[in-house]
Structure 1
């Protein structure tokens, strides 16, 4: 099993290959972006499982919102939360972090 990974928008792993089925299952094709806009993607065990965004505000905790494109197990959510906290520690000067999960809303379909 591969650990969860947060990929930024326009990451080459997802955009640099004509055939992305080794990372994005056919049932989830097209959910990592709308038109020419892509979302940050979360890989769980090497496969696309969620989209993410980071919100920061002055004097407030940094928040990573993870929207599941397929249901995550409790163990997967725990692993994603740990990776999200590491991401926030590297990307923001914030000292407080919050990770929120929600269902994916596909605005492009």
Structure 2
């Protein structure tokens, strides 16, 4: 089992600052996406940032993990998928936190796995 990770961020820039990454490939078979909403969080605070990363971890787990026992090769592929998806999601969360205040309005992160 092989999985490819593609992440993107939806953003509307104010004052010229816009965050962007590669868009998820549309129409690909076996592609899975999870949108992580965080409009209820202040991601500039430690608590808000920590909660966003927890949501990213849970979403990555739901995209990459099978239910029940799996073969060793599948487990390794799932582990790699999980690590890559978390890393991409965490990078997006960090970018949001480090963006200049008032420069970006974002309500969700989109992570994809195939």
Q: Pick the TM interval, shorter chain.
A: 0.3 to 0.5
Q: Give the TM-score, by structure 2 length.
A: 0.34
Larger relative contact order (Cα-Cα within 8 Å, sequence gap ≥ 6): 2
Q: Select the structure of larger CA radius of gyration.
A: 2
The structure where strand makes up a greater share of residues is: 1
The structure where helix makes up a greater share of residues is: 2
Q: Give the TM-score, by structure 1 length.
A: 0.35
